[in-house]
Amino acid sequence: MTHSLNILLVSRRKDVLDHLEQVLVAADFAPSRQHNSNGHVDPLHGVDPMPDLVVLHLSHLWREELEAMAALPPDRRPALIVVGPASDVNVMRLAMQAGARDLVPDTQVKADLLQAVQRTHEERRRPTKTAAGRISVFMNAKGGCGATMLACNVAHVLAARSKQRTALLDLDLQFGAAPLYLDLYPKRGIAQALENLAGLDEVALDGYFAKHASGLNVLSHAANEPLTASNISSAAVTQLLNVALRSHEHVVVDMPRCVDPMTTAVMQRAHQVVLVLQQSVTAVRDATRLVQWLRAEVGVAKDQLCVVINRFEKGATVAVEDIQNALGCNDATLVPNDFKSVSECINSGTALLDYAGNASITRAVMTLETRLGGTSAQTRSSMIARTISSLLPGRTR
């Protein structure tokens, strides 16, 4: 059966169009072709209606071709895959500005192009849940309580186990460490994405994400960015969240502990706020003040607030009941202390699920993920039930 993705192949060379067409037809796509001859540098000259996806083979006029693509208004811009000199930094930069989701080297057309097209096809087939998309914001009550560790691992489980299209936004633009937890070193980051806010749509935003093998998309400050004062406006962060929500089912935010217009704007858009603390008097004191702010100033409802007691110890002086009484909640999620697993995961940039899928800390992360809208804990318990029932005597296979 032919796939329904509406693809347009564009090139100034007929032999290239023949080849691209052949590759895609063999994989059951039915692309159309646009053979641009002299005179027009706009690859989409005269194209109407717009296709779902453009595969653009760059010519010697690559700069003009990509500039014409970048000039398209976001709501008219189709998904774009560029075929050309992928190792040329200038081409790469301009392709990103044009919103290209992939840059396929001429030499690798067959394998890489098919993969890129199939990815676009898959994304189009899965409905975008704009209305149902969730934002979960993680904030610690005190530095070092474990908010980043939990935000990264919950986001990873959402993507890897629950197969939700998930984005992780690290909004600590100065010292954010989320990419390090996942061994990612983003070349571009939030500051670059916001420089082009007017043209920021989901296709353009995709170019700013660092991609984890699990499918998780991570947006943070760029790895080599010098330290500067952070000044994202509440309007800019709200637009960033809106665009991220259009292409993701779940947006997890790792938020710096700070009360300002930007954090307030994010909290107001959040479906759930995860407040991470440990069993210490100082953390409980600060958590109490944060809960007051969230409830009274931000308007977070009681059932939107999820309290997590991290590095939980049974015999600790500050007991779970004390914390729950102080914060006015009765359903705190407990995450055990596991220094060895956590520090080895951080040092090697490995997610807990990949490092120790059955450890009790990973199970606690899965419980939290499921509380926030994932399905990993349910999948796990039905898997266990199936395994046990298959071991029962008398069961025939």
Ligand X SMILES: Nc1ncnc2c1ncn2[C@@H]1O[C@H](COP(=O)(O)OP(=O)(O)O)[C@@H](O)[C@H]1O
234 binds ligand X (CB under 6 A): no
Give the shortest CB-277-to-Mg ion separation in angstroms: 13
Residues 105, 144, 299, 328: which binds ligand X (CB under 6 A)? 144
Sign of the Cα pseudo-torsion (384, 389, 391, 396, in order): negative
343 binds ligand X (CB under 6 A): yes
Among residues 243 and 342, whose Cβ is nearest to Mg ion?
342
41 binds ligand X (CB under 6 A): no
- Helix runs in 161-201, H state only: 178-181, 190-195
Site string for ligand X, 318-337 (x = CB under 6 A): -----------------x-x
Binding partner of 361, given ligand X, Mg ion, none, CB within 5-8 angstroms per partner class: ligand X
Candidates 75-83, 96-104, 140-148, 219-227; binding stretch for ligand X (CB under 6 A): 140-148
Binding partner of 343, given ligand X, Mg ion, none, CB within 5-8 angstroms per partner class: ligand X
* Interatomic CA distance for residues 284 and 293, integer angstroms: 14
Residue 80 CA, chain-centre distance (Å), reads 19
Residues 346, 354, 367, 371: which binds ligand X (CB under 6 A)? 346
Q: How many angstroms separate the Cα of 113 from the Cα of each of 98, 176, 248, 365?
A: 18, 34, 23, 37
Residues 102, 202, 338, 369: which binds ligand X (CB under 6 A)? 338
Among residues 324 and 337, whose Cβ is nearest to ligand X?
337
Please report where in the chains the tokens 């690798």 appear, as a residue.
Answer: 108
Among residues 148 and 230, whose Cβ is nearest to Mg ion?
148
* Interatomic CA distance for residues 81 and 117, integer angstroms: 8
* Interatomic CA distance for residues 81 and 138, integer angstroms: 34
Instruction: Find out whether 137 and 257 touch, Cβ atoms under 8 Å.
Output: no
Residues 86, 294, 342, 352: which binds ligand X (CB under 6 A)? 342
Residue 17 CA, chain-centre distance (Å), reads 34
* Interatomic CA distance for residues 138 and 306, integer angstroms: 9
Give the shortest CB-177-to-Mg ion separation in angstroms: 6
If you ran DSSP here, which 8-state letter would residue 317 be given?
S
Measure the CA angle with vertex 211, ends 194 and 132; round to 5°: 70
Residue ranges binding Mg ion (CB under 5 A): 148
Residue ranges binding ligand X (CB under 6 A): 140, 143-149, 276, 310-311, 335, 337-339, 342-343, 346, 361
